[in-house]
Amino acid sequence: MAIQESGEMYLETILILSKEKSAVRSIDVSEYMGFSKPSVSRAVGLLRDGGYLNVDRNGHLFLTELGQEVAEKIYERHTYLTRFFQSIGVSPETAAADACKIEHIISDETFEAIKKLPLK
């Protein structure tokens, strides 16, 4: 099953939060993303059912191997594209915003070609 852009964003957020916290809960995701608790709860359920996420009895969220793979792919794209755009003179804010949009739709081929370009 192909994951939607919103699902990728949730997985990326859980990855980022897991680098900062020992345990990530839905409320942490809600606060980080600025989404309502019911929206996050629904997304968590879909991601769990899709095999991207596990939830323990205390409500802690854990990426599965598949979820980790997707999250790391999106996070790498986001961080690299942000740096790339900044290297060509784009402001940090615009670079991050544009990277966030592009990271979900850029092909693997194009992303790999961009990574071969030297960063200034």
- Give the model confidence (pLDDT) of 58-78 as tens digits: 999 999 999 999 999 999 999
Query: How confident is the model over 73-116, as pLDDT tens digits?
Result: 999 999 999 999 999 999 999 999 999 999 989 999 999 999 99
What is the assigned CATH class of domain 5-69? Answer: mainly alpha
Residue 101: exposure state from Cβ atoms within 10 A (0-12, 13-18, ≥19): exposed
Across the chain, mean pLDDT equals 93
Report the alpha-carbon distance of residue 84 to residue 25 in Å, rounded: 32
Angle of the 65-87 helix axis to the 108-116 helix axis, nearest 10: 50
Its pTM stands at 0.87
Report the alpha-carbon distance of residue 93 to residue 76 in Å, rounded: 18
In this prediction, residue 5 carries a pLDDT of: 84
